[in-house]
Structure 1
């Protein structure tokens, strides 16, 4: 008899719906902020400064955000974070509508919005792990990836329509999406998962970094994300330069850029089945290899549509890697470290990504576009080969993973006050557990 399909549950869908609305609004504001900065100042440099401020906010807040996600109630953090985003955007909407907006205000707003989004990311990650059963995590994470991909398509379209009327409408609409997310967060349970004990901030951050670094699987995952973010951030420059060189024009740039989002949507649809059916290490390695082959194809094709197809195939591998890696990361990380490990991984993967466009431009100028893309593809091939052998070299007995899962269950049901009282007595035991967890990740990867 066929078993009924398990459901993700009301709490997950509340969280998903609120953050989906916010994601579309944010994607629109990311377009509007530099455009308004250029309109107000008449200087293209201010547009670049505004985008840079957004990126700096994301990077600056990522590690502290993990500490907050592990220490405080997730509903409270979601409420406060989304309310802060609504306040910033509401203020921007009023300033723009009255003509009082200043480039400096846009810089501050961009930095704050980047920090808010970066703070909410690990909080949502921990909440998903709390609300969703372990065997349903790939499906939940694939939905989150599809949401992000669709937001990248819908958000810019919304921005384009509203910007024709008044940029204030973009900021006002985004403020409403943050309020929607806050309302959804309000309906979540007050206590979503365990909260941690107070630690000095630097020690708390270091603990998450240390756990990630001790795990061969997570360490490779962070390296994989770092390299791929660097490569994909530089691809837009390559697309623009290629279309200009071949005389394809701005329409070709738009078509090929749209394929980034289309490929991500396609990848999110197959990510959950891949995560269920393939060992984690092999799934990441194969998806990375697909990206490498597609990049090689992009370097050799000459037609606009052929290049667009190669870009779509390349970007389809990203959601697969993210879902597989995030599922494993959630399963092998103790509950008290979920936020910090997620933040550490995100920080490492984003830290050098802003260099992608600069390196792509410099490489294209010095060696040519084809050689630059081919070199990037070769680097991704090396990344795929490394991933294929990483977990196999570190395989250990399965009882280490079973011990870790038992500790996770005990931590998840342990009262917060009792956990605080016992923290100093159990720290050595937890440290030993975390030292074993790096190798136990390989067991899960080999099991699939």
Structure 2
């Protein structure tokens, strides 16, 4: 298998093709709830602060789940975990349209959406750990780019379609469609076969053991210790924590800007978010060449800084097409940085630790996300979108440039 062209090998890999198709379909459904949940909250309460609280509550659930998601992903059958996560989200999201036929209880949103966020975290941690069991080591960045691109293809039309469905039948109908896609995704995972994870050898086995007292805490700390000992993953985790704090509520801010500040309808919100996902699609095309040409560090720092510039400009325009274009630029930058970051972790982390390292990484850098979402949406309501976007954009640029003072910019793609 060594020496075969990665592109040819990937498309001849049946498990990879099936996995790519399943994730594309699932992403199409995800884009419905991505639009429908904030719209449902806004329709029910008229409050951008409530939108931020729901986003923040979902972030808290993800953080709590992340404390043990990595241990679960490293202990149990990863394919079954993916199926479990999809089935659980299908059932939870299906509750919303069923209950909304008889009442409109906001407590259901505050219960169901965070729970789905927890299962989403379990799925995401397992998903990252699964990719190296489907493709070869030298294909990881390219495979992640394809998967990211398939997500973009699905979500380019998804938000616009969700906006139309929400405008015609209400946001709960769009959430029901999302529930159905999770059912199809769970069934499709049955067709995917994974290579077994090699067992850890001597020293690696010791390194993965917990600290004195062992148990769940020790196993989770094995991921933390690996992150902290790695010269690139350590500063990257800190910087990403700051970026997530600043940007976690940006989707809510964009929706608020388009609907409340500019007075457009749900279908226009769908158009804007669809335009934004074009940037995600473009990122999947350029990331492999960018990382190969510049190396990991310059790619991540440059992309993150450009994303900050796009965020800063969002509040300076009243033009919906310009807002869509800036959203695309923001997600292009986020996509390049995110694919590089995920691929690096998959490349440098031993397979038996990958779930725990991924969970530790995401739990750490998402820990500030709920606070950030609440602060950003409250700031948008109190001070206006323009000022908040300028402040966030400047902050992201500063965080990115501070990466030049760390080992990130001196790292090669293999770190």
Tell me the TM-score normalized by structure 1.
0.74
* Structure 1 residue 319 displacement after superposition: 0.8
RMSD across aligned positions (CA): 3.7
Cα contact 1:126–1:339 (8 A) shared by 2? yes
Query: In the alignment, what sits opposite 2:264?
Result: 250
Post-superposition Cα deviations, 1:110-135, rounded to whole Å, max 9, x if no partner, equal 22211111110011111101111122
Instruction: Answer whether contact 1:256 1:307 (CA < 8 A) is retained.
Output: yes
User: What is the rounded CA distance, in whole Å, between the counterparts of 1:138 and 1:56 in structure 2?
Assistant: 29
Could you tell me how far apart the structure 1 residues matched to 2:248 and 2:41 are?
Answer: 22
Match of 1:165 in 2: 169
Higher RCO structure (Cα 8 Å, ≥6 apart): 2
Given the alignment, which residue of 99, 111, 114 partners 2:114? 111
* Matched residue SS, 2:406: helix
Equivalent of 1:348 in 356, 364, 369: 364
Deviations 1:346-381 (A, max 9, x none): 122322223335444666688876665444344333
| Aligned-partner SS, 1:354 | helix
8 A contact 1:32–1:170 mirrored in 2: yes
State the match for 1:425 in structure 2. Answer: none
Distance 2:176 2:45 in 1: 23
> How many angstroms apart in 1 are the aligned matches of 2:394 and 2:147?
30
Contact 1:295/1:374 (CA < 8 Å) preserved in 2?
A: yes
Measured against aligned partners, the alpha-carbon deviations of 1:320-359 in whole angstroms (never above 9, x if no partner) come to 1111111111111111110111112212232222333544
1:384 and 2:386 are equivalent in the alignment: no
Q: Distance in 2 between matches of 1:188 and 1:16?
A: 10
Once the two structures are superposed, residues 151-207 of structure 1 have per-residue CA deviations (whole angstroms, 9 ceiling, x without a partner) of: 444333343344433666434432321222222221222664247899611111111
Judged with a 3 Å threshold, the aligned counterparts in structure 2 of structure 1 residues 25 and 248 are, in CA distance, closer, same or farther, namely: closer
The residue correspondences of 1:265-304 to structure 2 (distance < 5 A) are 265-295=281-311
Aligned residues: 395
Structure 1 unaligned blocks of 5 or more: 396-441
The runs of 5 or more residues in structure 2 that have no matched partner are 201-207
State the distance in 2 between where 1:278 and 1:58 align.
Answer: 33
- Give the match for residue 8 of structure 2: 6
Distance 2:331 2:273 in 1: 11
Counterpart-to-counterpart distance in 2, 1:107 and 1:237? 16
Q: How does 1:111-190 map to 2 (within 5 A)?
A: 111-163=114-166, 164-165=168-169, 169-189=173-193
Shift of 1:105: 3.6
Q: 1:231 to 1:269 in 2, by over 3 A?
A: farther
User: Whose Rg is larger?
Assistant: 1
TM-score (norm 2): 0.79
